[in-house]
Protein backbone atom coordinates (compact mmCIF):
# COMPACT_ATOMS: atom_id res chain seq x y z
CA UNK A 1 0.00 0.00 0.00
CA UNK A 2 2.81 2.43 0.77
CA UNK A 3 4.35 1.71 -2.59
CA UNK A 4 1.41 3.33 -4.33
CA UNK A 5 1.77 6.57 -2.29
CA UNK A 6 5.55 6.83 -2.56
CA UNK A 7 5.62 8.63 -5.95
CA UNK A 8 3.38 11.40 -4.55
CA UNK A 9 5.51 12.21 -1.52
CA UNK A 10 7.94 15.10 -1.78
CA UNK A 11 11.50 14.14 -2.44
CA UNK A 12 13.81 14.25 0.57
CA UNK A 13 16.42 16.98 0.48
CA UNK A 14 19.17 14.37 0.01
CA UNK A 15 17.83 13.44 -3.43
CA UNK A 16 18.14 17.00 -4.71
CA UNK A 17 21.14 18.20 -6.66
CA UNK A 18 23.83 20.05 -4.75
CA UNK A 19 22.86 23.33 -6.34
CA UNK A 20 19.15 22.94 -5.49
CA UNK A 21 19.95 21.79 -1.94
CA UNK A 22 22.17 24.84 -1.30
CA UNK A 23 19.54 27.13 -2.75
CA UNK A 24 16.85 25.63 -0.54
CA UNK A 25 19.01 25.97 2.56
CA UNK A 26 19.91 29.54 1.63
CA UNK A 27 16.27 30.50 1.21
CA UNK A 28 15.41 28.82 4.50
CA UNK A 29 18.08 30.91 6.27
CA UNK A 30 17.52 34.26 4.53
CA UNK A 31 13.71 34.39 4.54
CA UNK A 32 13.26 34.65 8.34
CA UNK A 33 16.05 37.25 8.52
CA UNK A 34 14.39 39.38 5.87
CA UNK A 35 11.05 39.03 7.60
CA UNK A 36 12.52 40.06 10.95
CA UNK A 37 14.29 43.00 9.32
CA UNK A 38 11.14 44.18 7.57
CA UNK A 39 9.02 43.93 10.69
CA UNK A 40 11.59 45.70 12.86
CA UNK A 41 11.71 48.68 10.51
CA UNK A 42 8.00 49.37 10.95
CA UNK A 43 7.44 51.86 13.75
CA UNK A 44 3.76 52.27 14.33
CA UNK A 45 2.76 54.88 16.84
CA UNK A 46 6.20 56.49 17.02
CA UNK A 47 5.68 60.05 18.17
CA UNK A 48 7.05 62.72 15.85
CA UNK A 49 10.05 64.73 16.95
CA UNK A 50 9.11 67.52 19.34
CA UNK A 51 11.21 69.96 17.32
CA UNK A 52 8.83 69.46 14.41
CA UNK A 53 5.99 70.47 16.71
CA UNK A 54 7.93 73.67 17.44
CA UNK A 55 8.30 74.28 13.72
CA UNK A 56 4.57 73.71 13.30
CA UNK A 57 3.80 76.17 16.11
CA UNK A 58 5.89 78.87 14.44
CA UNK A 59 4.59 78.17 10.94
CA UNK A 60 1.00 79.10 11.70
CA UNK A 61 -0.26 82.23 10.05
CA UNK A 62 -1.60 83.90 13.16
CA UNK A 63 0.64 85.80 15.57
CA UNK A 64 2.32 83.69 18.24
CA UNK A 65 1.91 85.25 21.66
CA UNK A 66 4.77 85.72 24.09
CA UNK A 67 3.09 83.31 26.52
CA UNK A 68 3.68 80.50 24.02
CA UNK A 69 7.46 81.04 23.80
CA UNK A 70 8.41 78.80 26.77
CA UNK A 71 6.29 75.94 25.43
CA UNK A 72 7.76 76.28 21.93
CA UNK A 73 11.29 76.51 23.38
CA UNK A 74 10.68 73.30 25.35
CA UNK A 75 9.57 71.58 22.16
CA UNK A 76 12.79 72.61 20.43
CA UNK A 77 14.90 71.67 23.46
CA UNK A 78 13.48 68.13 23.39
CA UNK A 79 14.27 67.60 19.71
CA UNK A 80 16.46 64.68 18.71
CA UNK A 81 18.07 66.64 15.87
CA UNK A 82 20.94 68.87 16.90
CA UNK A 83 20.49 71.50 14.20
CA UNK A 84 16.80 71.86 14.96
CA UNK A 85 17.42 71.96 18.71
CA UNK A 86 20.09 74.69 18.57
CA UNK A 87 18.36 76.85 15.95
CA UNK A 88 14.97 76.58 17.66
CA UNK A 89 16.15 77.31 21.18
CA UNK A 90 18.34 80.21 19.97
CA UNK A 91 15.42 81.73 18.07
CA UNK A 92 12.95 81.44 20.93
CA UNK A 93 15.56 82.80 23.38
CA UNK A 94 16.07 85.76 21.06
CA UNK A 95 12.33 86.37 20.88
CA UNK A 96 12.14 86.30 24.66
CA UNK A 97 15.02 88.80 24.96
CA UNK A 98 13.51 91.09 22.33
CA UNK A 99 10.34 91.47 24.38
CA UNK A 100 12.17 94.00 26.56
CA UNK A 101 14.52 95.41 23.89
CA UNK A 102 13.63 98.86 22.60
CA UNK A 103 16.37 99.53 20.07
CA UNK A 104 16.71 96.84 17.43
CA UNK A 105 16.85 96.84 13.66
CA UNK A 106 15.48 93.32 13.23
CA UNK A 107 18.39 91.88 11.21
CA UNK A 108 19.39 89.54 14.01
CA UNK A 109 15.84 88.22 14.22
CA UNK A 110 15.74 87.62 10.46
CA UNK A 111 19.07 85.75 10.56
CA UNK A 112 17.91 83.49 13.41
CA UNK A 113 14.58 82.89 11.65
CA UNK A 114 16.33 81.96 8.41
CA UNK A 115 18.59 79.52 10.26
CA UNK A 116 15.58 77.94 11.98
CA UNK A 117 13.62 77.87 8.72
CA UNK A 118 16.36 75.97 6.92
CA UNK A 119 16.69 73.50 9.84
CA UNK A 120 12.94 72.87 9.81
CA UNK A 121 12.94 72.46 6.02
CA UNK A 122 15.73 69.87 6.23
CA UNK A 123 13.45 67.76 8.40
CA UNK A 124 10.35 68.13 6.25
CA UNK A 125 8.54 71.02 7.95
CA UNK A 126 8.88 74.24 5.98
CA UNK A 127 8.19 77.46 7.83
CA UNK A 128 6.27 80.29 6.25
CA UNK A 129 8.35 83.25 5.07
CA UNK A 130 9.38 85.62 7.82
CA UNK A 131 6.81 88.35 8.40
CA UNK A 132 7.87 91.93 7.78
CA UNK A 133 7.60 92.94 11.43
CA UNK A 134 7.89 90.01 13.79
CA UNK A 135 9.24 91.82 16.77
CA UNK A 136 7.69 90.27 19.85
CA UNK A 137 7.34 93.40 22.00
CA UNK A 138 3.69 93.54 21.05
CA UNK A 139 1.22 91.87 23.42
Of 56, 52, 90, nearest to 73 by C-alpha is 90
Averages of pLDDT over each 10 residues, the chain, 139 residues: 63 69 79 72 63 82 79 90 90 85 74 88 78 47
Q: At what angle do helices 69-77 and 82-98 cross, to 10 degrees?
A: 160
* Domain ranges, ordered by start, for the chain: 2-40, 50-122
What is the reported pLDDT for 61?
A: 60
What is the reported pLDDT for 133?
A: 46
What is the reported pLDDT for 104?
A: 66
Radius of gyration of the chain (CA): 30
Q: How many CB atoms neighbour CB 73 within 10 A?
A: 19
Instruction: Write the CB contacts of 79 (distance below 8 Å, at least 6 apart in sequence).
Output: 49, 50, 51, 52, 54, 85, 88
Greatest Cα pair distance, the chain, in angstroms, is 103
Q: How many CB atoms neighbour CB 132 within 10 A?
A: 6
What is the reported pLDDT for 89?
A: 92
Q: Give the span between the Cα atoms of 40 and 35, in whole angstroms.
A: 9
What is the reported pLDDT for 5?
A: 62
pTM metric for this prediction: 0.57
Amino acid sequence: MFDRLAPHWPLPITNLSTRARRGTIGVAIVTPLLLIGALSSVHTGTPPDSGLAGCAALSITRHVTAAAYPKIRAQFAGSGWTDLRTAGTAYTDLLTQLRTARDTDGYETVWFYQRLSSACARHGRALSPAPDKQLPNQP
